[in-house]
A and B are shown apart, each in its own frame.
Chain A
């Protein structure tokens, strides 16, 4: 399995008034293609910051971060947007679907930004909605869908650019146990198809479902032996 993500001594500092608070204190992390990794940590541990850096939404203060062999630390906003488009499929706790757009349009959105042809967008989005079991709901608006269905639309959206990494932030946090379980089933299925998944959570039981778990505490990362 090839290495797709490599972090060496990642430090993230924030200026808080006169004080500098160090949120990440030298993180080392390597992820191979096809892994299902859970990053486990309580709130305030720095896990959101780590997720933002992994997802190229933010850059580290120091350290080296290679994603698909490319250095991320010194890229500008535009380059980061293009990297996110290609490498990262985001799944958020509260779904973040555009409320006035249909499921199909929501799934298409990343392809709009990568400039895909309308017909191809339609087909790919419809295929993915079918894959997540929503072929009958493609023209529904988010509010006409249940929470679990909305999250599945979001997963289809995350998949549409065929990203290197699926990056999920508390993907079941807003769902009840049963629908949460269904979403996790979908993750397992995607992982078994070779998809690399990184899941950020504070829930030990959820984290245990991943093949590999790392624990983040107070800005430091520890490998968990499952």
Chain B
């Protein structure tokens, strides 16, 4: 029975090709718009998110602005933070601009960073040559540094930079590693290694603190063991910091990439939903088109309906026939719309320069929408057909 209805529906659609096509066009446009918008938004934000994620959602950054009584975080504060539950490590950060030189070459706008081994453990930037800084370098009396490839290029050109001595703000340091900052896709690289014109030198954090003349740390990264517990850990960190700053307000701020990511996620979902909502207006208009065509079809085929009833079709069978026809129209439109929408997405993502990713959710939504439109807007005409009285239907000329 279902198969028969499908065949009959197909016959009818085939017999009014142009009209069926125009009727389905509304659905085609609606579904294509929904698919394209969702796919484009998702692939654009997806790429941004994956960059954020590569930074690690397993850390927070504390910026201590301090207050008149206490300017920043000292070693014992760091020890306290390190001792908190779920804290894998604490990496203080000292940032300044200074000079670096060697044998008549002087770079006077070099970013000098003080970091500890925890920073290097979490750092995703590739070390081209040599090694990272280790815990053994952190005693405050070890003068080793890791430079980036800009400085290596400026100072050593084609020479091997390893084990060479350079002057950093007048102090001699041995180069133990070269970082490939260009290899990283890390969009936040600038935050970790604020890139000055001439490049970046990373030295042990204690040396850097001494060099800067400050007595406490103003920026500390805190790494988590288990991100599921980060809310609790952040609360613990806040409690510890409140105590460290003697409960003075505005002494510090916390940058939490995890929550930033959550926020972006929410925004991207909202944006998708909003755009899909706008696009689905086209679907409603398309649905009205289908309803209109089906109503015309019922009127045109009144005699056929009467005949089918005389031959023993009950009202439900007539209703099913017309609903299937409406469904076939909207589903056909939906399928074409999905293909078209994906095509548009491929071209658009290519133009934007992001990676194209098939959004099965959007395809499901498009298919679901077109089925729903067929059912909702096919219902009334089908009901009208099924409730025609056979004698009235047969009598019309």
Show the binding face of A for B, using Cβ within 8 Å: 52, 55, 57-58, 77-78, 81-82, 84-86, 90, 92, 96, 98, 100-101, 109-110, 112-115, 157, 161
Do A115 and B1 have beta carbons less than 8 Å apart? yes
A78, B313: Cα distance in complex, Å: 8
Question: A77–B304 contact, CB under 8 A?
Answer: no
- Given A57-B390, A57-B391, A115-B1, decide whether A81 and B307 contact each other with a Cβ distance below 8 A: no
Contact mask for chain B residues 297-319; partner A; CB cutoff 8 A; 1 contact, 0 none: 00000011001111111111100
B316 near A113 with CB under 8 A, answer no
B311 x A58 contact (CB < 8 A): no
Does B85 interact with chain A (Cβ within 8 Å)? no
Chain B residue at minimal CB-CB distance from A95: B307
CA distance in complex: A77, B389 (Å): 9
B160 within 8 A of A: no
Instruction: Tell yes or no: B249 within 8 A of A by CB.
Output: no
Q: Is B396 positioned at the interface, with any CB of A under 8 Å from its CB?
A: no
Using a Cβ cutoff of 8 Å, how many contacts connect chains A and B? 57
A112 pairs with B15, CB closer than 8 A:
no
- Complex CA gap A189/B314 in Å reads 31
**Chain B, interface SS category:** helix
Bitwise interface map of B from 160 to 183 toward A, beta carbon under 8 Å scored 1, else 0: 000000000000000000000000
Return the 3 tightest CB-CB contacts between A and B, nearest first.
A85-B312, A81-B314, A110-B311
Q: In the complex the two chains form, what is the Cα distance from A100 to B8 in whole Å?
A: 10
Asked if B310 and A114 sit within 8 Å, CB to CB, the answer is no
Write the residues of chain B forming the contact surface with A, with a CB cutoff of 8 angstroms: 1, 4, 11, 15, 303-304, 307-317, 389-391, 394
In the bound assembly, the distance between CA atoms of A125 and B304 in angstroms comes to 20
Partner pick for A113 among B304, B317, B390, B394, CB 8 A cutoff: B317
State A115–B317 Cα separation when bound (angstroms).
11
Known contacts A58-B391, A100-B11, A100-B15; is-contact A81 B1 (Cβ 8 Å): no
Q: How far is the CA of A101 from the CA of B303 in the complex (A)?
A: 15
Whole-angstrom distance from the CB of B255 to the nearest CB of chain A? 69
* Interface contacts beyond A58-B389, A84-B312, A101-B11: sample of 18 additional A-B pairs, CB < 8 Å, sorted by A: A52-B391, A55-B310, A57-B310, A57-B394, A77-B314, A77-B315, A78-B316, A81-B315, A81-B317, A84-B310, A90-B311, A96-B310, A100-B11, A109-B311, A110-B311, A113-B313, A114-B312, A161-B312
Please, which residues of chain A bring their CB within 8 A of the CB of B316? 78
| Minimum C-beta distance from B17 to chain A (A) | 13
Closest chain B residue to A87, Cβ basis? B312
Chain A residues contacting B391 (CB-CB under 8 Å) are 52, 57-58
User: With A100-B11, A100-B15, A112-B4 in contact, do A78 and B315 touch (Cβ < 8 Å)?
Assistant: yes
What is the CA–CA distance of A110 and B317 in the complex, to the nearest angstrom? 12
Min CB gap A24→B, angstroms: 14
Kindly identify which residue among A77, A78, A84, A101 contacts B311, using a CB–CB cutoff of 8 Å.
A84
List A contacts of B4 (CB < 8 A).
112
Give Cα A136 to B11, complex, Å. 24
The reply to whether A78 and B314 form a contact with Cβ atoms under 8 Å apart is yes
- Do A110 and B312 have beta carbons less than 8 Å apart? yes
- The complex places the Cα of A57 from the Cα of B306 at a distance, in Å, of 10
A-B contact pairs, 7 of them (CB 8 A): A52-B391, A55-B310, A78-B314, A81-B314, A85-B311, A96-B310, A161-B312
Known: A58-B391, A100-B11, A100-B15. A113 touches B310 (CB 8 A): no
Evaluate contact between A96 and B307: CB separation under 8 angstroms.
yes
Chain A residues, CB < 8 A from B389: 58
| B315 to A, closest residue via Cβ | A77
CB distance from A176 to the nearest CB of B (A): 22
CB distance from A79 to the nearest CB of B (A): 9
State whether A96 touches B317 (Cβ < 8 A): no
Across-interface contacts of A84 in B (CB, < 8 A): 309-312
| A113 in contact with B11 (CB, 8 Å) | no
Residue contact B310 to A98, C-beta cutoff 8 Å: no
Q: Which residues of A contact B1 (CB under 8 A)?
A: 112, 115
In the complex, what's the smallest C-beta–C-beta distance from A180 to chain B, in angstroms?
Answer: 22
A86 surroundings in chain B (CB, below 8 A): 312
A113 near B315 with CB under 8 A, answer no
Chain A residue nearest to B1 (CB atoms) is: A115
B311 contact set on A, CB distance < 8 A: 84-85, 90, 109-110, 113, 157
Within the assembled complex, what's the spacing in Å between the Cα atoms of A68 and B177?
103
Known: A57-B390, A58-B391, A100-B11. A81 touches B313 (CB 8 A): yes
